[in-house]
Structure 1
């Protein structure tokens, strides 16, 4: 919150109610006068104070220039007051300020007195700014409530996850799931390494670029300068390892191998890290695996992508994983067991078993409910 320390989670519902009440109070005051009336008064007050600020010090004294400024100020201020609607709230304050200037010479005291007489109008004129500030404060407190609620929901999800994992069958035969995934990961890693070593750089980058059609595979896009070079230059027909070796040659030595050493260095040397890091990572499956609802789509894409460069026996290992995923109920039981073994510590299991997690969940849900009620009672503005 703007002028005070942020409210604690416990205090936030009351802080939101207070900010809402402050906003509604000033909004109701504006409604009493009417929005347009307050705007008109604010415009008149701003114009009056601007004239005071502009001419104070210039319309006082006895010099010729001072007298000229005095006449201009008196005319402009008088015209402003005469043009005000008769029913404008606190019109008398403007007239009282103008009366102070009905004399032959002005002093600093006259300007100070005029400002004092306009004070009655300033309260109403400031209502619009006051409402803007109250609205900003309300929105900020409401965002604090939303953030606190998001934090609580995250904690609730964490506790619910502990309960879910604790309920997993830790004796489930997860090797039925792990073995085909490990077999595939090893096979695809070897196949991609062989492809990278044997294929031309042009073929390799064409393959990577083609995976753009498979968003669940996720190879990083080849740099455009590198892609363009290997597509249009003779060295692009050689394997990546050879290009990287060329890029480390001196220009005089490289001149014996390629027609344009500078072009090769610009395209390859500047993208050396990309080429070296290009591996089978995007093709491997995670452990523990994703839920079946996500994994089956990724597997479909991988079958298409891996089949572009790998032998059929590698694709067959991928199909073995697909066959496990098809039995969704068993797959999810094995997957949850794998996650529990990976994520759940002995201390966490003991905490769940003791009932402490359920107690924490009850407390968190109650606290979240209070914040949800506060947001429902005080909607966005």
Structure 2
């Protein structure tokens, strides 16, 4: 059995919505809501008072019921649909004593109003059906867009030259990444914790150098406390000391533990990753902008050789073949065994054409059937 077609479901839901809207328009939404609410209220009133208001000896309950009935009926507009039904139900209940059959007669008399109540429920149901059907098409469209993007990626990777000399890009990038990692490790080992966190804090001015900013309590403690002149490893070691032992090294052991111990994860993860290029490298434009920000940042802690390696990486973006070499690098890095099997088994161009057609069909359905809020409401 084939799966349901979301476009067919949306079309059917739209047709049902249109047909119901026409019937609702003949009554008017406000008037339909009025009669439906009144019908529901009166049925609830009958159910709630039937046992107490019938028979003898419950005159107080009878009066309470008649007052509630009159109050609800008096609130109805004169031109309410099925007004005769409400009058007939009232007439069936205007007796000195009431029996269960009188309540049954009142419910029967309300049958014409029940038709309007049913229409109100149908109107709500058809709107919900339309809304759900349209959401299903949106989900399918997004899934088709994902499949298109995946096939386009697969086609792009397959088109890359597997024999391209990607080492032309790889070697300078790897040399810089290794050098900056070594330099940053030396910096965090030898410089004071205050200097390291101040450096990280200053990188906020460089959005393409994505360090997480230091936690405020840690930053403030290291900036103000004399122990902030010690390297980070020393602070982490101190944080493991007992309070009594720590008394010999710092003025405020509890504050050190509160500032450092609670942020150990942040300090353990602080490394040179935000300063590296990575492999495969980004597009030429992205790499050009990143290296432009990285040069002044790296120069704050690394020697001239590391900065020179970074400039060499930046110069790669001026190569005319950078884009094709990068595509080959991406293909080698991202093309999985499963991708290769798909390339062997699937006609990518044909599959891509099919998925694009499906995506467009779904998009056309959404354009034809707008969101429910944009669908013309009945008068």
**TM-score normalised per structure 2:** 0.91
2:362 maps to 1:368:
no
Distance apart, 1:41 and its partner CA? 1.6
Distance apart, 1:348 and its partner CA? 4.2
2:157 — aligned with what?
Answer: 165
1:121 — aligned with what?
Answer: 113
2:21 — aligned with what?
Answer: 27
* CA separation of 1:128 and 1:349: change in aligned 2, threshold 3 A: same
2:288 equivalent among 287, 290, 296: 296
Distance apart, 1:52 and its partner CA? 1.9
What is the distance in 2 between the residues matched to 1:377 and 1:206? 57
Q: Deviations over 1:154-190 (max 9, x none)?
A: 1121111121112112222211111111111011101
2:328 equivalent among 337, 341, 353: 337
* CA separation of 1:74 and 1:347: change in aligned 2, threshold 3 A: closer
2:271 — aligned with what?
Answer: 279
Distance apart, 1:235 and its partner CA? 0.6
1:37 equivalent among 31, 35, 38: 31
Give 1:49-198 correspondences, 5 Å limit.
49-63=43-57, 66-78=58-70, 80-81=72-73, 84-198=76-190
Q: Deviations over 1:260-285 (max 9, x none)?
A: 21221121122222212211011111
* CA separation of 1:206 and 1:35: change in aligned 2, threshold 3 A: same
* CA separation of 1:50 and 1:162: change in aligned 2, threshold 3 A: same
Deviates more, 1:152-161 or 1:70-79: 70-79
* CA separation of 1:346 and 1:96: change in aligned 2, threshold 3 A: closer
* CA separation of 1:344 and 1:83: change in aligned 2, threshold 3 A: closer
Q: Secondary structure at the match of 2:52?
A: coil
2:37 maps to 1:46:
no
What is the distance in 2 between the residues matched to 1:140 and 1:254? 64
2:262 maps to 1:305:
no
2:348 maps to 1:357:
yes
2:7 — aligned with what?
Answer: 13
Q: Secondary structure at the match of 2:321?
A: helix
Q: Deviations over 1:208-241 (max 9, x none)?
A: 1111222221112212221111111111111101
* CA separation of 1:68 and 1:349: change in aligned 2, threshold 3 A: closer
Q: Is the Cα contact below 8 Å between 1:9 and 1:148 reproduced in 2?
A: no
What is the distance in 2 between the residues matched to 1:348 and 1:42? 59
Distance apart, 1:76 and its partner CA? 4.0
2:315 equivalent among 294, 318, 323: 323
* CA separation of 1:166 and 1:82: change in aligned 2, threshold 3 A: closer
What is the distance in 2 between the residues matched to 1:205 and 1:69? 78
Q: Is the Cα contact below 8 Å between 2:177 and 2:278 reproduced in 1?
A: no
Give ranges in structure 1 of 5+ residues lacking alignment: 1-6
Distance apart, 1:307 and its partner CA? 1.8
Deviates more, 1:147-156 or 1:77-86: 77-86
Q: Is the Cα contact below 8 Å between 1:352 and 1:358 reproduced in 2?
A: no
* CA separation of 1:79 and 1:161: change in aligned 2, threshold 3 A: closer
Alignment length (residue pairs): 372
Distance apart, 1:318 and its partner CA? 0.9
* CA separation of 1:53 and 1:10: change in aligned 2, threshold 3 A: closer
Q: Is the Cα contact below 8 Å between 1:9 and 1:145 reproduced in 2?
A: no
Q: Is the Cα contact below 8 Å between 1:61 and 1:107 reproduced in 2?
A: yes
Alpha-carbon RMSD: 2.2
Q: Is the Cα contact below 8 Å between 1:195 and 1:309 reproduced in 2?
A: yes
Q: Deviations over 1:139-158 (max 9, x none)?
A: 12211111111111111211
**TM-score normalised per structure 1:** 0.90
What is the distance in 1 between the residues matched to 2:232 and 2:337? 48
